[in-house]
Amino acid sequence: MENQRETVRRREAVRRRALARRRKIRRRRIIFTGVMAGVLAALCLLIKGMLQEPSVDGSVRPVTELGSEGNTAPDRGTIQGLSASDYAKHPDWTEDFLTVNEYSRPGEALPKVKNIFVHYTANINTSAAQNRSYFESLKDTHETSASAHFIIGYDGEIIQCVPLDEIAYAVQTRNYDSVSIECCYRSKDGSFTQETYDSLIGLLQWLMEVYDLDAEDVLRHYDCGGKKCPLYYTEHPEEWEHLKEELQDVS
């Protein structure tokens, strides 16, 4: 009888020890899982940070999601951030927006427009369509970050690549408060054809009107950063003054 009780006690003790061991193992597993989850979360954040590659001017620019149409008019009744009546007065252009991508159309909001920058493509005899394709190709080649809101071809045609309520990558320090226009050219001195020039004047006048800007707010890329762009107007500053006078005349 005594022996039987002793056996039962021993078995009970063995059972308790085994139970305690199992609890200890379970606790350790819970702690281990928690630590691993923490490490994984930290790793995910690190990788995410590394994937946001810095762009040409060094700042990190995450790609923001846009709707399938890629047009982010925030309020009803506005088109590309402009009132419907202002927008309706725009000169003829072909709307051919770039695919949202971090190399030429980051899809980030353009909060204000203080200046309009004029550029030349620096690629003689290339058409507006070809230059638009180049901007589009950057999403695959990752060659550089570059784009403009508009490209004017040497026949005077205008292609809109980026909506006016989004930034383009055109003037490194001024992408968040300016609109940029690229001009094609056929002459070695970088001068524009009459057709390009006329379209440029018309587009600039419309932009000046809708953003309430003065001719002095129209700048050469050269005026911000010193790049010889647009070439002809950096080498012929008097012609640039003349262009601005023409803008002023009508406005």
Binding footprint of Zn ion on the chain (CB under 5 A): 119, 221, 229
Cβ nearer to Zn ion, comparing 100 with 171? 171
**What's the min distance (Å) between Cβ of 42 and Zn ion?**
42
Cβ nearer to Zn ion, comparing 105 with 221? 221
131 Cβ contact list (under 8 Å, min separation 6): 121, 123, 151, 182, 184
**What's the min distance (Å) between Cβ of 119 and Zn ion?**
3
Chain-centroid distance of CA 134 in Å reads 16
Burial of 94 (0-12, 13-18, 19+ CB in 10 A): middle
Cβ nearer to Zn ion, comparing 143 with 249? 143
Cβ nearer to Zn ion, comparing 113 with 118? 118
C-alpha span between 190 and 198 (Å, rounded)? 16
**What's the min distance (Å) between Cβ of 229 and Zn ion?**
3
Cβ nearer to Zn ion, comparing 72 with 185? 185
**What's the min distance (Å) between Cβ of 139 and Zn ion?**
20
Whose CA is closest to 177, among 228, 219, 240, 127?
Answer: 219
**What's the min distance (Å) between Cβ of 82 and Zn ion?**
24
**What's the min distance (Å) between Cβ of 178 and Zn ion?**
12
Cβ nearer to Zn ion, comparing 72 with 145? 145
User: How many CB atoms sit inside 10 A of residue 93's CB?
Assistant: 16
**What's the min distance (Å) between Cβ of 171 and Zn ion?**
7
Cβ nearer to Zn ion, comparing 72 with 218? 218
- With both helix axes pointing from N to C terminus, report the angle between 237-250 and 194-210 in degrees, rounded to the nearest 10: 50
Peptide bond before 111: cis, by omega within 30 degrees of 0? no
